[in-house]
Amino acid sequence: MKINKKYFTIAALCGAMLIPLSCKKNFLTQTNTTASNADATFEKSQDVVALVNSIYDGYQNSDLLKKSIWYYANFTTHDWFNDGGDIAWNNYTISPTFGALYTFWQNAYFDIIRANSALEIIATAKTKGVVTAELGNRLLGEAYFLRGMSYYYLAGSFGGVPLELKASTNGLTPRNTQAEVFAQVVADMKQAETLLQSKTVLPATEKGRATKGAAYAYEGSAQMWLGKYAEALAAFNNTELTANYHLLPKFIDVHEFSNQNNDESLFEIQFDIQGSQSWDGGWQNGGEVAWIDDFSWPHELSGFGYDYGNPGLEYSYQTGDLRKNATIIGPGDQNISPGIIAKWGGIKGYQVVIDGFKNGTKDNSAQKYGSFVGDDGNIINTCGALRQPWYGDDLTRSGYYCAKKWRDPNLTGANGSSTIFGSQNQILMRYAEVLLSRAECKVRTGDIPGAMADLKLVRDRAFGGSAPAVMQDGLTYDGKPTTPITDPLQMVLSEYRHELTGEYSLFYLLRRAGPGVAATFIQKNYGTDATVTPQPYPYGPTADGKLHGVWRTSLPANHDILPIPQTAIGLNPNLKQNPGY
């Protein structure tokens, strides 16, 4: 990144000045410092806190979270697809000029810039007595954590990237290796572990900040990227994780809107309602709301449906697995979110559904029935009907959608006030992922009984108390029976998918497992081939012989990592492009 040296220092200051001023999510509430100059800004304790808050604020960005990290974690698995301008994800034809990639790169480095500046400023503030040693240490820990987390996602997505560890640089640093970047993640998380507060002593008003437990979770994962499984196990077994975080009794509750910052969540990005939640511009003016969830809703409800599911994902859940309809729903499936049911009575309660049923609305003239008529002829209460799935107005979607992103009962869809920008927090790391990663570490180190015990913890919850002794996926994507899974590593991979798909980590975990693992896993699940166009679905209610936006393209060699954005290379000619792009 070729950026003026001054920018690296000033960016952190500006971040503190521009932090939203009326946020209700407790720890992000700050005093207005827009009239301050650089010297005065950091002469008060609250201004140093605001500087660190600006690093958190960098992640309150829909393009960074959804169009970058979420897209990579999910579109590359073929469990989910895109129907908007980002359709290149579907068949692995992403170009170095693809705009979202530079958004990812630029925003991540902005946060790294802020963290680097914060580390220097906080140290000075401690020396001058502007902040107490206790507060200063905690803030330093947060800066280390957030920098390490940014490098974690950069390296997981692009491979080796430049390590910028000072507040000032000429922006011409060449790429470090992927291993060097993850080694830095480990170093940053180890520093954070010594400085951050434990979840047990973090005040309720500070909920949402990084904790020691979150640092141990990211350290463990970074150690796995380095193939250091014994070291990863040591991090995952730290009591800051094992004593302070727990699986919720019911999987459906993990992503409920009313249950944010819950006992399973290790780190989640905080959002809050502030100003307008519609298209009138409030969301652009510092409002901490996002389009992340609503854009995953069916087009029939929201007018969007920009991402949608692979029917084969729903078929792949083992019989009795309660995670299925809490993760993906399609024709004939109800939304089982307790919050949605309490607010709306299910899908039938949305005004757009009520009006559409009353008026006989058809999203597409080719439809035989109205879009909001259920299989029984009454108002629909399912995500499309078996006899007529919700394909969207242009019939290009699969008819299946992400139930994990359909939990905010305050959103209304495309009617009335069009409340479509929501305040659902976004969970980046939770304890179930730690348990599954720990299971993989135990497989790698030969402790198969220990790995099976960790898997059982996650699977017992998934089946409402006691999982079947035999692990077996449900039907294949084309409706055929499967055979029991007996290989321990494949068991872990299957659980990664069924527990974490539709969140922020699945493809990262598949790539972390080793070269070729992701491609083989996807091919096994979906019978992928060389085609780069959508194909008719071979089984289920959407098997009508028509194209509905489902790709079965094989993951090409070297495309398990993303291309370095061309704009970044143009600014820093010392960056070298990834092979295959």
What tens digit of pLDDT does each residue of 427-473 get?
999 999 999 999 999 999 999 999 999 999 999 999 999 999 999 99
- In the chain, pLDDT over 90 holds for what percent of residues? 85
Of how many residues is the chain composed?
581
User: Is pLDDT at 241 greater than 50 in this prediction?
Assistant: yes
Cα 445 versus chain centre, distance: 29
Q: Which of 6-10, 51-55, 221-225, 538-542 has the lowest mean pLDDT?
A: 6-10
Average pLDDT over residues 18-37: 43
Instruction: Give me the torsion for CA of 163, 167, 171, 175, rounded to 10°.
Output: 0
pLDDT at res. 15: 43
Handedness of CA 319, 324, 328, 334 (dihedral sign): positive
- The count of other CB atoms within 10 Å of the CB of residue 547 is 14
Amino acid 13: pLDDT: 45
pLDDT score for 287:
58
- 429 sits in which H/E element: strand 426-430
Q: What is the pLDDT of residues 377-404, one digit of tens each?
A: 999 999 999 999 999 999 999 999 999 9
Q: What is the largest CA-CA distance in the chain?
A: 74
Asked whether the predicted pLDDT for residue 11 surpasses 50, the reply is no
Element (H, E) at 453: helix 448-462
Kindly tell me if the per-residue pLDDT of 33 is higher than 90.
no
DSSP-assigned letter for residue 208:
T
Residue 213 has pLDDT above 80, yes or no: yes
**Looking at residue 25, what is its pLDDT?**
58
Lowest mean pLDDT among 26-40, 113-127, 251-265, 316-330: 26-40
Q: Give the CA dihedral 369, 370, 376, 382, nearest 10 degrees.
A: 120
Residue-wise pLDDT for 242-290, tens only, equals 999 999 999 999 999 999 999 999 999 999 876 667 666 555 555 578 8
Residue from 240, 201, 243, 249 nearest 218 by CA: 240
In one-letter notation, the amino acid at residue 581 is Y
Question: If you average pLDDT over residues 538-551, what whole number do you get?
Answer: 97
- pLDDT > 90? residue 8: no
Q: What is the pLDDT of residue 29?
A: 46
Over residues 470-481, mean pLDDT: 97
pLDDT at 284: 55
Contacts of 85 (CB under 8 A, 6+ apart): none
Here the contacts of 71-74 (C-beta below 8 Å, separation 24 or greater) are: 71/100, 72/157, 72/507, 72/508, 72/562, 73/503, 73/504, 73/505, 73/506, 73/507, 73/508, 74/307, 74/501, 74/502, 74/503, 74/506, 74/507
How remote is the C-alpha of 73 from its chain's centroid? 7
pLDDT of amino acid 339: 98
- Residue 522 half-sphere exposure toward CB, CA atoms < 13 A: 30
Instruction: Give the sign of the dihedral formed by CA 153, CA 452, CA 326, CA 264.
Output: negative
Burial (CB count <10 Å: 0-12, 13-18, 19+), residue 445: middle
Q: Are 161 and 147 in contact (CB under 8 A)?
A: no
Strand partners, 570: none
d(Cα 21, Cα 516) in Å, to the nearest integer? 47
pLDDT at 22 over 60: no
Q: Would you place residue 322 in the very low, low, confident or very high pLDDT band (cuts 50, 70, 90)?
A: very high
pLDDT at 38: 47
Per-residue pLDDT, averaged over 508-514, amounts to 98
Percentage above 70 pLDDT, the chain = 90
Instruction: Give the tokens for residue 406.
Output: 């359909």
Q: Is the pLDDT of residue 10 over 80?
A: no
Region 281-301: mean pLDDT is: 78
8 A C-beta contact, residue 430 and residue 499: no
The residues, ordered by sequence, that sit 6+ positions from 118 with a Cβ below 8 Å of its Cβ are 12, 51, 52, 55, 139, 143
What residues does 328 pair with on adjacent strands?
A: 402
Assess whether pLDDT exceeds 50 at residue 17: no
- In 3D space, the residue among 359, 352, 346, 348 whose CA is nearest the CA of residue 414 turns out to be 352
pLDDT at 286: 53
**pLDDT surpasses 80 at 35:** no
Question: Residue 265, SS3?
Answer: strand
Compute the average pLDDT of residues 566-571.
97
| Cα–Cα dist 131/51, whole Å | 13
**Which region among 74-83, 185-194, 407-416 has the lowest average model confidence (pLDDT)?**
407-416
- 74-129: per-residue pLDDT in tens? 999 999 999 988 899 999 999 999 998 999 999 999 999 999 999 999 999 999 99
Indicate if the alpha-carbon torsion angle 146, 151, 157, 161 is positive or negative: positive
pLDDT, mean over the chain: 91
Q: What angle do CA 102, 75, 541 make, to 5 degrees?
A: 150
Contacts of 334 (CB under 8 A, 6+ apart): 325, 346, 347, 381, 382, 383
